[in-house]
Structure 1
Amino acid sequence: MPDPGEIGKRVRYWRLRRNLGRKQFADMIGRSTSWLDKIETGERDLTRIPTIELVAEALSVDPDVLTDTPTAIRAADCVDATEVSAIRSALGRYPSLVRPAHEPPAVGHLARQAEYLDHAWASSHFTTIAQHLPTLLEAAQTATLTAAAADQVDTHRILVTSYRLASSMLLKFESHDLAWLAADRAMYTALEVDDMWSQARATRSVARAMTAARQRAEAIDALLGMTDRMRPEVPRYPNSLLALYGMLYLAAAISAAEQDDAALAMTMHQEATQAAERMEPHHDDHRTYFGRTNVAIHRVSALVRLYEAEQALHLAATIPTSALSALSPERRANHLLDLAQANTHRGKYAEATRALAQAERTAPQEVRCRPVVHNLLRTLLSTTTGEPARQARQIADRAGVPA
């Protein structure tokens, strides 16, 4: 049992992560705020099992999350079922059917919240997104109904961003049905306004959800339909649309690779390459990090999905380290996961483990929490020996993957 101060810190951490105020939480467990303050500061010992269980139940965590250090670390790293349920609830609201309980925050405030969560996504801080996204979804949903006409495009962009974040994160954790719902909501929202930006971003989300649901041909149709729609506008507004246009082709390349269509994947890659060659420094990449480097790592990813591991590794070796360093942690970590997968396909298990370890250093939540990585870890645990096996076991322990 850790010391009272450590348990108190964990109680406070989870109370704040659940967005519970001091009095609200104290009332939930039938205690005073002064009692709670003493627990959280370590002045009072929380050691009685019934009380620990009461506090843990109110926080929707296992008691071991408060009392066992390895369990506490793993739980803090990962999005949990309670947070997925909160996102589900937010997706299940229909504000247009009821009178809003209160006015949403100003559009500028909502935009800053969405930008903050966009930054969290780029850094692979998924627990931050899970904590704040349900509130943003509810506020943005209401804002689209109550905002002035001049703010409608902005509020719809915020709501599209919120739905996209929900869909993308749920796909990471293989909640495919919910991801599909969020992506569909993003598309529905985007089509309510005449805004190419919103429609392009929503299309990418819908296509990713379709691909995960094995509707790959439909995903490609949606992506190419949107590129056809954008093509006349891109030369007029290249600084705002070109990156989104190129990213649609990258998404199509991945979907084509998923359905084992190497020729189409290459065609889509070539289209994206042409778009990347037109990019200039002042062009807005909308945090897609679109450009030659992102095109290259998507090609690596497509080759891995086509089981062309040797080609994937050869191409990856040509990408300058300095160029990779300019990408977000989320992009870099996923590239490293592709390299780990490619090396596993080639039977190079030591190299796969090194790539996985580097991915964990780059973005811990990508490695410790995602089911696809857990499956890769199980493979490495059964195939590696010596130092790579020890390293794989350490990563697995931090991810909660049993021996």
Structure 2
Amino acid sequence: MARARKRRGLTQQGLAQRTRYSRSHIAQVEAGHKAATPAFIAAVSDALKADMGELYGQPYRGDTPSTDRVHRSIPDLRRALAWSDLPPELEGPPRSLGTLAAEVEEAKRLRRLAQHVRLGTLLPAVMEELSFHAHDTNAQRAWRLLSDASCAAGELSRRLGYSDLADSMFREAARFAVLARDPHLPLIITWRRSLVLINHGALAAAVRLLDRCTTMIEEGRPGDVEVSGALHLRAAVIAGRLGDSGSAWDHFERAAEISARAGRPHLDEYSTYFSPGNILIHGAAVATELGDYDEAVRRDAAIPPHVLNSLVRERRSHHLIDMSRVHAEQGRNGPALARLLEAERIAPQMTRYHPSARTVATHLQDRQRVYSEGLRGLVARMHL
């Protein structure tokens, strides 16, 4: 962050004048005495006109084939994307649409488990073969499957720090979704793409897009509850990161009301995992983004263990990373590390490549004279 600031000719005071943070706060972050929260990074990203990935140092590349293998699929995904507008030249006949549909379901499963390496290995060939079917037959099912596969590729690219590739994937997925003739599918792709906009520092644009999407729900159509609820939850978290408490909690309450009116169902047709448990962890996330750490701790403590354990690994791990941030901000190093280690146990690849997890781990390093065995192992696995 300090290098990005200097490249743009700004002093710490100059940067402070462009954000809602003091020069002292900025100095402490740059010196490693204070953790860089996502809200802070977003504000600095906007002020410096820099991608958040640049400030986080993404993508996190390894120095050996084994430590860099999670990135191995990125060139293949770029090549698969190149065949979006015409059928690819395959070496042999494509697999059947039924077989490829099963592969897309496997991709969704791997995404839920945050198995980045296996997901990246699976997707390129599936995308190319689905592109062949879609352009050859123009079948709605083929376009829907291609849209779903492209979304999975976009999610993986974003998590690994390739925001521009992720944005391209989501834009193509949205185009395919229109051809699939499902009016709710493009809205969910905007829901996914909003996280890329965050990485670009465009938080206000992300919230406005999500707000617009909530007005485009076709009530009574299958998926309306899931899509509407997911849009409000995502808008709540992003508004929280913007520091807009009123908007954040309003969106959150709307999502909770939508769920309650529908009988508090567990919905996942669009891979949003919309459920009572997911709503609970979003409540803690909103408080975390707003910097209300006492409220985040209170909401976290109110989540029954069996409810948390019922969530998919990706969501559980993300919640634990959020709570590690909260404990680190409150100076509770032990609980912060414990949450990170639990997140890593549940979803190792996601945790090791998650900017917030790495930020907290680095912060814990800076605050401890003697590293515990757990912290030593974690930073070694993260290659910090």
| TM-score where L is the length of structure 1 | 0.74
Structure 1's consecutive aligned runs of 4 or more residues displaced over 6 angstroms after TM superposition are 97-101
The one of 355, 363, 378 aligned to 1:395: 378
For residues 98 and 336 of structure 1, the distance between their equivalents in structure 2, rounded to whole angstroms, comes to: 42
The one of 101, 117, 122 aligned to 1:127: 117
Q: Looking at both structures, which has the greater relative contact order when contacts are Cα pairs under 8 Å and sequence separation is at least 6?
A: 2
Counterpart in the other structure of 2:253: 270
Residues 170-224 of structure 1, C-alpha deviation per residue, up to 9 Å, x if partnerless?
Answer: 2212211111111111112222342124223212122222122122222222222
The one of 76, 99, 108 aligned to 1:109: 99
Once the 2 structures are TM-superposed, how far is the Cα of residue 385 of structure 1 from its aligned partner? Answer: 5.5
Q: How does 1:11-90 map to 2 (within 5 A)?
A: 65=65, 72=66, 74-75=67-68, 79-80=70-71, 82-90=72-80
Identity score, percent: 23
The one of 235, 254, 268 aligned to 2:237: 254
Residues 262-302 of structure 1, C-alpha deviation per residue, up to 9 Å, x if partnerless?
Answer: 11111110111112213448764224221121112112122
Whether the 8 Å contact between 2:285 and 2:296 is mirrored in structure 1 is yes
Q: In terms of mean alpha carbon deviation, does 274-283 or 316-325 score higher?
A: 274-283
Q: How does 1:1-400 map to 2 (within 5 A)?
A: 65=65, 72=66, 74-75=67-68, 79-80=70-71, 82-96=72-86, 103-147=93-137, 152-230=139-217, 233-234=218-219, 236-238=220-222, 240-280=223-263, 284-286=267-269, 287-384=271-368, 389-400=372-383
Unaligned stretches of 5+ in structure 1?
Answer: 1-60, 66-71
Once the 2 structures are TM-superposed, how far is the Cα of residue 95 of structure 1 from its aligned partner? Answer: 4.4
Distance 1:96 1:308, change over 3 A: same
Residues 297-348 of structure 1, C-alpha deviation per residue, up to 9 Å, x if partnerless?
Answer: 1121222222222211111110111001110111100000000011111111
For residues 188 and 327 of structure 1, the distance between their equivalents in structure 2, rounded to whole angstroms, comes to: 30
Once the 2 structures are TM-superposed, how far is the Cα of residue 261 of structure 1 from its aligned partner? Answer: 1.4
The structure with the largest helix share of the pair is: 1
For residues 195 and 248 of structure 1, the distance between their equivalents in structure 2, rounded to whole angstroms, comes to: 17
One-letter amino acid of the structure 2 residue matched with residue 291 of structure 1: S
Residues 218-262 of structure 1, C-alpha deviation per residue, up to 9 Å, x if partnerless?
Answer: 2222222222111xx33x235x33112211111111221222211
For residues 89 and 74 of structure 2, the distance between their equivalents in structure 1, rounded to whole angstroms, comes to: 26
Once the 2 structures are TM-superposed, how far is the Cα of residue 372 of structure 1 from its aligned partner? Answer: 3.6
Whether the 8 Å contact between 2:87 and 2:131 is mirrored in structure 1 is no
Once the 2 structures are TM-superposed, how far is the Cα of residue 88 of structure 1 from its aligned partner? Answer: 1.8
One-letter amino acid of the structure 2 residue matched with residue 349 of structure 1: N
For residues 175 and 228 of structure 1, the distance between their equivalents in structure 2, rounded to whole angstroms, comes to: 30
Q: Secondary structure at the match of 1:237?
A: coil
- Considering only CA atoms, is the larger Rg found in Structure 1 or Structure 2? 1
For residues 172 and 88 of structure 2, the distance between their equivalents in structure 1, rounded to whole angstroms, comes to: 18
Q: Secondary structure at the match of 2:179?
A: coil
Unaligned stretches of 5+ in structure 2?
Answer: 1-61
One-letter amino acid of the structure 1 residue matched with residue 282 of structure 2: H
Residues 9-62 of structure 1, C-alpha deviation per residue, up to 9 Å, x if partnerless?
Answer: xxxxxxxxxxxxxxxxxxxxxxxxxxxxxxxxxxxxxxxxxxxxxxxxxxxx96
Whether the 8 Å contact between 1:307 and 1:345 is mirrored in structure 2 is no
For residues 393 and 111 of structure 1, the distance between their equivalents in structure 2, rounded to whole angstroms, comes to: 42
| TM-score where L is the length of structure 2 | 0.78
The Cα RMSD (Å) is: 2.3
User: How many residues are aligned here?
Assistant: 322
For residues 264 and 300 of structure 2, the distance between their equivalents in structure 1, rounded to whole angstroms, comes to: 24
Once the 2 structures are TM-superposed, how far is the Cα of residue 400 of structure 1 from its aligned partner? Answer: 1.6
Q: Secondary structure at the match of 1:96?
A: coil
Q: Secondary structure at the match of 2:303?
A: coil
Residues 36-93 of structure 1, C-alpha deviation per residue, up to 9 Å, x if partnerless?
Answer: xxxxxxxxxxxxxxxxxxxxxxxxx96x55xxxxxx4x45xx512x321221222223
For residues 362 and 185 of structure 1, the distance between their equivalents in structure 2, rounded to whole angstroms, comes to: 31
Once the 2 structures are TM-superposed, how far is the Cα of residue 100 of structure 1 from its aligned partner? Answer: 6.4
Residues 112-153 of structure 1, C-alpha deviation per residue, up to 9 Å, x if partnerless?
Answer: 1110010001011111111111111112222221226xxx22
